[in-house]
Amino acid sequence: MKELSEYIELGGCSKPHGIKGAFAFHLYNTEDSVLTKGSKVLLYPKDGSKVSKEGEEHEIASIAFGNKIIVTLKEVKDRNKVEEMIPFSIHFKKSDLPEPEEGEFYLEDLIGLKVISEATGEEVGRVSSHYDNSAQIVLVIRGKQNFEVPFIDNFVKEIDLEAGTVQIVVPEMIG
């Protein structure tokens, strides 16, 4: 079984494309995708998928970005195989990601960091996950109270990866 903690989830697939064995991928970030021809991805099954429960590594044979992201995988040559495999999530090995530039980070780097209230200096929880609500990224905080904050300057004041902290303005209804 592949260790999922070594991977970052890039999106998923729930639809085939055409009759020749292509997939219509849905990626969370289409503007700066790391996926290219030859990239290796880990496919992890969702309910109804015949992808192995341990996940399966596949190599991208071709990828085209447009109003849809159309992908063919080596060894998948027909629509019947595609339909057996979907739905699945798409994961990429973290160690294969490009190194972020100075002052930049991956959102995945925030998972597990302590969340500190800007007002009190006290720990209010930890970042457990994040998601895109189509307007902005939202951080999910788990602690004595579970809550979410938009990943915008009004709420997220400072990120210190070395110290392992994220300083935020706690929403009034939580504080």
Does residue 174 surpass a pLDDT of 60? no
Contacts 24+ apart (CB under 8 A), 74-81: 76/21, 76/23, 77/20, 77/21, 78/19, 78/20, 78/21, 79/16, 79/18, 79/19, 79/20, 79/21, 81/21
CB atoms within 10 A of CB 175: 12
**What is the pLDDT, as a whole number, of residue 64?**
94
Q: Kindly indicate the confidence band of residue 134, based on its pLDDT and cuts at 50, 70 and 90.
A: confident
State the average pLDDT over residues 23-40.
88
CA distance 165 to 158: 8
**What is the pLDDT, as a whole number, of residue 173?**
72
In a shared domain, residues 114 and 90: no
Percent of the chain residues past pLDDT 70, beyond the cut = 97
Q: Is the dihedral of CA 152, 157, 161, 166 positive or negative?
A: negative
Does residue 2 surpass a pLDDT of 90? no
CB 55 within 8 A of CB 2: yes
Q: Kindly indicate the confidence band of residue 126, based on its pLDDT and cuts at 50, 70 and 90.
A: very high
Least-confidence region, from 29-33, 69-73, 156-160, 165-169: 29-33
In a shared domain, residues 10 and 84: yes
In a shared domain, residues 89 and 114: no
Percent of the chain residues past pLDDT 90, beyond the cut = 69
State the average pLDDT over residues 161-167.
95
In this structure, what CATH number is given to the domain that contains residue 19?
A: 2.40.30.60
Domain with 121 in it: 107-168
- Answer whether the bond into residue 87 is a cis peptide, omega within 30°: yes
Report phi then psi at 32, rounded to 5: -125, 45
Domain count, the chain: 2
